Amino acid sequence: MPAPADSLALVPQTERRRLRVRGLVQGVGFRPHVFRCAQRFGIRGFVANGPEGVLIEAEGENLEAFIAALRGEAPPLARIDSLIESPLDPLGDDAFGIAQTTAGAAAGAAIPADTAICDTCLVELFDPDDRRHLHPFIACCDCGPRYTMSRALPYDRATTSMADFDLCTACESEYGDPLSRRFHAEPVACHNCGPRLTGTIDDVARALRTGQIAAIKGVGGYHLACDARDHAAVESLRARKHRDGKPFAVMVLNRACAVRYVELPDAAVEVLESRERPVTVLPALAADTGLSPALSPGLGTLGLMLPYTAVHYLLFHALLGKPAGTDWLAQDNELALVMTSANLSGDPLIVDAEEARERLADIADVFLHHDREIPARADDSVVRVEPGASMIIRRARGYTPHAIALGESGPRVLALGAHLKSTVTMTRGDRAWLSPHVGDLDTPAAITFHARTADGLQDMLQALPQRLACDWNRDFASTRLAQKLRDTLDIPLVPVQHHHAHAAAILAEHRFEGPALAVVLDGHGQGLNGESWGGELLRLEGAAFERLGHFAPLYLPGGDRAAREPWRMAAGVLQQLGRGAEISARFKGQALAPAVAQLLSGSEVPVTTAAGRLFDAAAGLLGVSERAAFEGEPPMLLEGLVRHPIALRDGYRLQRGVLDFSGLLAQLADCDDPALGANWLHGTVLEALGVWAADAAEHTGIETVALAGGCFLNAILARELPGRLQQRGLRVLTARSMPPNDGAISLGQAWVARRVDCDEEAR
């Protein structure tokens, strides 16, 4: 007798669906996660890496529960951007398997970033009964190097530098077991089959204890290390590396150690302990902490990071006398190590043992090498924690090359960035890949590295660009590379004005089409007619921009040299204030002061609207800095003096979009209290910027404002200005997943180039 119709609804129905999962789902343990979910819910079919990320065909009676588990229980490194389902006819599969990577898988793949060692591997590392006890290269699906050992996509062992090491029987068993934490963990290895150290951790520990300097090969390149409590060692490292005042990063073991040296709010702990393990810039404690005063002179901050590789932990273990167990990992100790990038004179990070031995011979007393190649170098990322948010200062290891969602598809663009803090961006489909920090293109080695980075992005994404983008300045090495590629590839090249690109990077990050206003505060960028811009109020829409206003021009005596010598900017201000006769006496320590005074009395003095030069002029007038030890030092020193910003009543004038700070500069010229002057500067600039943006919003009807440019690395501007604009009813967009400085220029260039009509605009 047939079952009643209503009882049929209670019988589970077999379904089959194709699932396409996009996001960060390759190289992060996602396929074994799918396999385990399938086992739990009795699902048959297969999973494979495919052109759209991960492809799943799932058949069974519990598909909804299976899909919910896929989403809700994803591995810690995975990120699901989309999961698209389509129905299929059941095939009657009797099991679930992990299939081979499909053809063309790299075309839609995401490149995984490096990740700090996970807690599980850390426990194994110090377990005498574990076969990876003290193994310097321990890793699993949830941690370890990814991008820095990748040679191509898709991310499989054969396309990484681990292809150089054959798996032993035990590791091969784990690698092939879907239920293992090391299933297809491409860095998997052990003492028997993995990379090897040259030199010993004990030797490095002994050297550090005696005030020596060590060169240590890590995942993205070499570090130079010394004891951060040993002032002589720190000064020696500065002298040997020819690094005057630029701050050094310091590594401590854990948060209990960090609070010895810095203020550590909960938000900072989250960043410091994150899997990206960036250098985290925090307020330094005012008390004598025992650290060398030469680590971060005059800045009031300290960049701290925690260990992120097994080698780091093994080094701390040796320095602490090799304690048993793992309790010591969370205990307080006074150890603090300088960990700074091993490079010379603006050259790229050193990644090769032979080069390290040759180029670091006069710096390092002891070396720790390993024989795993680093195909993609990456500096440590740098992040500053602010109330309610964090700001990325340098986007590199741990953060790159995570794709940035652009919201819509467009032509493939390769954007070559700017000259300082350069990066490269390539777009494909609806995403953009921003390279790690390349650096300043001032040396042949840096220029070569920049070109290799551009080639590397194309290789990793297995795609050629359809358009190129570069800075408006034809003299930049990045622009010359773009022109060379244009001739080679025979594709359009779109030049993008520097500050337009700054603002466009903010719109790209927020996927905001505009129109929008932009306040761009920067050090320098070439204007449309060759002028020096940098304090700009722009209107953006589509691929176009309009200059609505700018800072009043300041004299720039000596051109680029004035950016490195704030006394020159101050001298220019004195001339503009009608006080040029004071220059020689005021800057009597500068041999060229009389010549600069003579130059300023003439008629052919270059000018700039750059906000960064306004801050330099203030530093020179207040006696805070006459010569910069490194780029950005004078404004950073001023920032360190600010406690309560004060707006001067007559500090600025706004006329027809031009923001004139002559009143402020006149007051600073007569101020003999640098801290008071720094508070006047910041308070007046904040007040003026709020009025400037609100006035433009009223006249244009545009209520969205992007804040961009290197001056927004200033914590006071970054913290205070958004709130002031929001109080005026404006929507504010700021940099969050990338730096506001030139490190994001390439993304902005790509955003603009995708929107340009190349028949009209390309050259």
| pLDDT, tens digit, 9 for 90 and up, residues 285-327 | 988 899 999 999 888 899 999 999 999 999 999 999 999 999 9
DSSP, res 475: T
Query: Residue 613: helix, strand or coil by DSSP?
Result: helix
Taking residues 135-160, what's their average pLDDT?
90
**In whole angstroms, what separates CA 411 from the centre of its chain?**
25
Q: What is the model's pLDDT at position 8?
A: 46
Q: What CA–CA distance (Å, rounded) separates 583 from 620? A: 11
Mean pLDDT value of segment 505-532: 94
pLDDT computed for residue 707 by the predictor: 98
pLDDT for the residue 307? 98
Q: Give the C-alpha separation, 380 to 382, whole Å.
A: 7
Q: What is the rounded average pLDDT of the residues 170-180? A: 92
Q: What is the pLDDT of residue 758?
A: 72
pLDDT at residue 709, as a whole number: 96
pLDDT number for residue 383: 96
Residue 523 to residue 539: CA distance in whole angstroms: 20
pLDDT digits (tens, 9 = 90+) for 71-114: 998 888 888 888 999 999 999 988 998 887 655 555 555 678 99
Predicted pLDDT of residue 178: 84
Residue 760, pLDDT above cutoff 50: no
Nearest Cα to Cα of residue 161 among 452, 400, 372, 311: 372
Across the chain, mean pLDDT equals 92
What is 14-108's CATH number, 3.40.640.10, 3.30.450.20, 3.30.70.100, 3.30.470.10? Answer: 3.30.70.100
Give the Cα separation of 469 and 489 in Å (integer): 13
Q: Where are the domains of the chain?
A: 14-108, 197-385, 401-553+609-763, 559-605
Buried b (16+ CB within 10 A) or exposed e, 154-174: bbbbebbbbeebebeeebeeb
Res 183 pLDDT > 90: no
Confidence category of residue 761, pLDDT binned at 50, 70, 90: very low
Asked whether the domain spanning 401-553+609-763 has the same topology as the one spanning 197-385, the reply is no
Mean pLDDT (whole number) for 113-118? 95
Assessment of whether the complete model's pTM goes beyond 0.95: no
Residue carrying the six token digits 């840096």: 446
Length of the chain (residues): 763
The beta-strand segments (E) located in 643-754 are 653-655, 658-660, 704-708, 731-733
Q: Does the pLDDT value for residue 389 go beyond 80?
A: no
Q: Which of 45-59, 288-302, 342-356, 626-640 shows the lowest mean pLDDT across its residues?
A: 45-59
Would you state the pLDDT for residue 7?
47
Fold designation for 401-553+609-763 = Nucleotidyltransferase; domain 5 (3.30.420)
189-194 long-range contacts (CB < 8 A, ≥24 apart) are 189/135, 189/137, 189/139, 189/162, 189/165, 190/131, 190/132, 190/135, 191/131, 191/132, 191/135, 192/168, 193/165, 193/166, 193/167, 193/168, 194/135, 194/137, 194/165
Q: Does domain 197-385 have CATH number 3.90.870.40?
A: yes
Distance from first CA to last CA of the chain, Å, rounded? 80
CB proximity list for 300: less than 8 A, separation 6 or greater: 283, 284, 640
Bridging pattern class, strands 15-24 and 53-60: antiparallel
**Average pLDDT, stretch 520-531?**
92
Strand partners, 708: 520
Least confident of 235-249, 269-283, 681-695: 235-249
Report the percent of the chain where pLDDT is more than 70.
96
What does the alpha-carbon distance between residue 316 and residue 300 come to, in Å, rounded to a whole number?
27
Taking the C-alpha atoms of residue 601 and residue 654, their distance in angstroms, rounded to an integer, is: 27
Q: Which pair of tokens denotes residue 266? A: 């909960």
Residue 412 has pLDDT above 70, yes or no: yes
Residue 388 has pLDDT above 80, yes or no: no
